[in-house]
Amino acid sequence: MSESKSKSFTLLLYLIVIIATIVFIFPIAWMFLTSLKSQNDAFTAIPKWIFTVTYDNYQTVLFERDFQKYLWNSLYVSVFSTVLAVILGSGIATRSQGITSREPKTS
């Protein structure tokens, strides 16, 4: 492979990866942009790329709704279920481990 050919090949690889990244990031980025828009800017037929940034939506979510409660609920469920799963699951795993490691001795 000549030097220039491998260089253009690398370029092609980067191009593909960059396009893929844009495709997978765009919806998330768009959601983020929308979160900074006011009601009027968010619902337009032609999307606005330039708009006045507003933090009202975050204000609403963080302080006017029960955000702390929702956050607490999520944390509660995930922490509690993880801890429980680890304790109970390791219990079951210990049992089989106990059987296998003991079997050669008893038999």
Partner 1 sequence: MNKFKLSRSGPYLVMAPGMILLLLFAIYPTIFLFKISFQEYSPISIEKPFVGLSNYIQVFQDQSFWNSLKITIIFVLSTVSLEFFIGLFLSIVLHQLGKGQKIFQSLILLPIAMAPTIVGLMFRFMMNDQYGVFNYFAESLGFSRISWLSDPQLALPALILTDVWQWTPFMMIILLAGLKGIPSDPYEAAKIDGATASQTFFYVTIPLLSKIIYIALLLRTIDAFRIYDTIYMMTKGGPINVTSTLSWIVYDKGFKFLDFGYGAALSVVMLILVVTLLMLFLRKVDLFNVEGKS
Q: Could you tell me the smallest distance in angstroms from the CB atom of residue 63 to partner 1?
A: 21
Of the candidate spans 25-33, 54-62, 65-73, 75-83, the one that interacts with partner 1 by CB under 8 A turns out to be 25-33
Does 13 engage in binding with partner 1 (CB under 8 A)? Answer: yes
3-class SS of residue 3:
helix
Query: Looking at 36-44, 55-63, 65-73, 75-83, which segment touches partner 1 (CB under 8 A)?
Result: 36-44
**DSSP code for 16:** H
Q: Which is nearer to partner 1, 61 or 88 (CB)?
A: 88
The answer to whether residues 37 and 48 touch, using CB atoms and an 8 Å cutoff, is yes
Rg of the chain over CA atoms, in angstroms? 27
Distance of CA 72 to the CA centre of its chain: 19
